[in-house]
Amino acid sequence: MTRSAVWHPFTQHALEPTMKRIVRTDGAYLFDEQGHAILDAISSWWVITHGHRHPLITDAICKASEIYDQIIFAEYTHEPAEELATSLIAVAPASLGHVFYSDSGSTCVEVALKMAFGFFHNRGTPRFRIVVMEYGYHGDTIGTMSAGERGVFNMAYEPMLFDVDRLPFPAPGREQDTLDAFEAFCQGGQVAALLIEPLVLGAGGMLMYPASLLAELRAIATKHGSLMIADEVMTGWGRTGTLFACEQANIAPDILCTSKGLTGGSLPLAATLCSAEIFDAHLSTDRSRTFFHSSSYTANPIACAAALANLDVWKTEPVATRIQSLVAMHGARLERFKADARFGNVRQAGTIVALDVNVPATGYLSNAGPKLRAFFKERNLLIRPLGNVIYLMTPYCVMANDLDRIYDAIDKAADMIAQGGDL
């Protein structure tokens, strides 16, 4: 077989077998060239919400492609972008009044960081510090890598990164340490923004913390005049049980980042929502106060049409009921592992569940990770553990029998690891 010229993401090609080719998708499944139906238990890296190729979204893409392709967004606008901005503001937390489009989770967080620095710079009160949470992950651009946890993901790129202030993760019983650390960082008056994944830290290990702590962090930021940036790239669009995770803390951030499920996972699109105050700080007859950011595909009309169709799905279908049912189904099946010595830290936040396989060597590079992934792959399950952490983030269309199959496989996978000796 001819060696592929493709370089895949997060892939060590010296260790990986030949990639399976997917020939079509449908609902909760991917279908490979051998005809295998592969259950997508992680929503193809957290993007597919309602299921692959939802008919309303697919139809909207087809119709939009008959009218539009890419349109420069610096001098012109178009109806899909205008309607989507209005619709996003209507469903987002209160006080967010403007929408800036980009094309990925990383870029929309990068936009948020630049908005925060620009806000204070243009007001003549520059602030230079960003506060983040330990173990956080915000993307793979320079700004978002700087804000993320330092380690294997970005070790080679350290000379390119800038420093940020890090809060200790609020482990149970240690929540006050997190709050005290944020208060101390803010005392100096230089904190431009707190950048945080609400309720669940994704790539950092699906670590979860209570909504009450998020609310207290918001209060501290407000008290010191610092901005809060909610990175809802992963947590948005129902993943934690509500449309946006911030709703559970009853807070409105100054800036909110959304991507992944924005189009139901069908096409790349991202949006950074901000308050009128942040927009107004850039509004001036002085052109030097312009917000200097763009990408060639800003507000792609076909992607915007897909996002509008996603919002229509939320309006016309019982999505909230499906999510509630899925939360309950996961919870019932997860119960069997809570007192199981093979696992630790069994946890759930809405439709996201995670559990740690107890092995001596933990973390992203744990040898348990590749063994678990291969085990699931042999059973036509798309599950990509984060080292020894098994997590699930299924599409909302997944059926009870699908979940039974997934959880039975997790049970057998733990046996496989236990019988494999010291990892």
Residue 263: helix, strand or coil by DSSP? helix
What per-residue confidence (pLDDT) applies to 2? 77
Q: Is the Cβ–Cβ distance between 353 and 330 less than 8 Å?
A: yes
- Same fold for the pair 57-316 and 318-419: no
**For 215-250, what is each residue's pLDDT tens digit?**
999 999 999 999 999 999 999 999 999 999 999 999
Q: In this structure, what token pair is assigned to residue 280?
A: 């107004």
Q: Is the pLDDT of residue 318 over 90?
A: yes
Domain ranges of the chain: 57-316, 318-419
Residue 231: helix, strand or coil by DSSP? strand
What per-residue confidence (pLDDT) applies to 253? 98
For residue 17, the 8-state DSSP code is P
CATH topology for the 57-316 domain: Aspartate Aminotransferase; domain 2 (3.40.640)
What per-residue confidence (pLDDT) applies to 315? 98
**Residue 277: other Cβ atoms inside 10 A:** 14
Rounded mean pLDDT of the chain? 97
pLDDT confidence tier of residue 3, bands split at 50, 70 and 90: confident
Cβ-Cβ contacts under 8 Å for 394 (sequence gap 6 or more): 28, 40, 41, 42, 43, 326, 351, 402, 403, 406
pTM over 0.85? The answer is: yes
SS3 labels along 23-74: EEEEECEEEECCCCEEEECCHHHHCCCCCECCHHHHHHHHHHHCCCCCCCCC
Residue 307: helix, strand or coil by DSSP? helix
* Cα distance between residue 60 and residue 263, in whole Å: 11
Cβ-Cβ contacts under 8 Å for 2 (sequence gap 6 or more): none
- CA 335 to chain centroid, in Å, comes to 25
Q: Is the pLDDT of residue 367 over 60?
A: yes
**For 136-181, what is each residue's pLDDT tens digit?**
999 999 999 999 999 988 999 999 999 999 999 999 999 999 999 9
pLDDT confidence tier of residue 423, bands split at 50, 70 and 90: very low
Residue 186: helix, strand or coil by DSSP? helix
Q: Is the pLDDT of residue 421 over 80?
A: no
Question: How far lies 223's CA from each of 213, 220, 301, 317, in Å?
Answer: 15, 5, 40, 40
What per-residue confidence (pLDDT) applies to 1? 61
What per-residue confidence (pLDDT) applies to 402? 98
pLDDT confidence tier of residue 17, bands split at 50, 70 and 90: confident
Q: Is the pLDDT of residue 259 over 90?
A: yes
pLDDT confidence tier of residue 422, bands split at 50, 70 and 90: very low
Cβ-Cβ contacts under 8 Å for 149 (sequence gap 6 or more): 134, 135, 136, 137, 204
**For 379-407, what is each residue's pLDDT tens digit?**
999 999 999 999 999 999 999 999 999 99
CATH assignment of 318-419? 3.90.1150.10
